[in-house]
């Protein structure tokens, strides 16, 4: 019978990455190039998420393509997409996701008030009927991994069938990404 792994102080330290972000040798030319472009676009020295996930060279390009189809090329409009991601990041306590998407949200036209309101319960945050329904569905998906029938019926009055599928996939993608960020202890990116 195998013994449980011992837990030293480093594995319990949320301020230490469990996997060191890779450089050219670990990432290969594609991962390294994506990381460099990402760093330039975000104004950071390195995109720790890319430099960590990029260590799995076979998986990274497929993950990146899928992620890109969620954001920025998803079926929901860019503003709604960013509000959904910000809400997921808040619910999951993902400071990394939150920081990136506060900046991205501002670039696609979200104002400070809208970004801050993603921290509040959608029922009390003063959203339009459409956004309240969408963000309520986000809360249920993150908390229960399902959407109640009445919530689904409400959000379905505002979204097409393709948008409904896209919403579920977007939430699942960013919920899963929050899990990866947390489990791998990926650290915030440092500005240039």
Per run of 10 residues, the mean pLDDT along the chain (length 192 residues) is 44 80 96 95 91 96 95 95 98 95 95 98 98 98 98 98 98 97 94 84
Note the pLDDT of residue 4: 45
C-alpha distances out from residue 173 to 6, 69, 180, Å: 31, 11, 11
| pLDDT at residue 15, as a whole number | 78
pLDDT at site 33: 96
Q: In angstroms, how far is the first alpha carbon of the chain from the final one?
A: 49
The pLDDT, as a whole number, for residue 9 is 43
Cα separation, 114 vs 22, in Å, equals 35
* Euclidean distance between CA atoms 94 and 177, whole angstroms: 9
Q: Is the pTM of this model over 0.85?
A: yes
DSSP summary character for residue 122: G
> Tokens standing for 172?
């699942």
Cα gap 135→127, rounded to integer Å: 9
């Amino acid at each position: 019978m195998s013994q449980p792994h011992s837990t030293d102080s480093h594995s319990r330290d949320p301020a230490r990455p469990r996997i060191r972000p890779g450089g050219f040798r670990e990432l290969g030319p594609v991962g390294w190039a994506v990381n460099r472009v990402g760093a330039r676009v975000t104004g950071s020295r390195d995109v720790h998420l890319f430099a960590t996930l990029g260590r799995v060279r076979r998986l990274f390009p497929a993950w990146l393509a899928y992620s890109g189809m969620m954001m920025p090329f998803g079926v929901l409009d860019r503003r709604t997409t960013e509000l959904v991601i910000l809400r997921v990041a808040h619910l999951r306590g993902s400071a990394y996701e939150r920081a990136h998407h506060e900046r991205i949200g501002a670039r696609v036209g979200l104002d400070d008030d809208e970004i801050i309101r993603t921290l509040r319960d959608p029922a009390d945050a003063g959203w339009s009927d459409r956004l309240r329904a969408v963000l309520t569905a986000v809360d249920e998906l993150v908390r229960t991994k399902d959407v109640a029938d009445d919530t689904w019926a409400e959000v379905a009055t505002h979204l097409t069938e393709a948008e409904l599928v896209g919403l579920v996939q977007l939430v699942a993608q960013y919920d899963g990404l929050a899990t990866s960020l947390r489990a791998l202890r990926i650290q915030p990116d440092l500005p240039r």
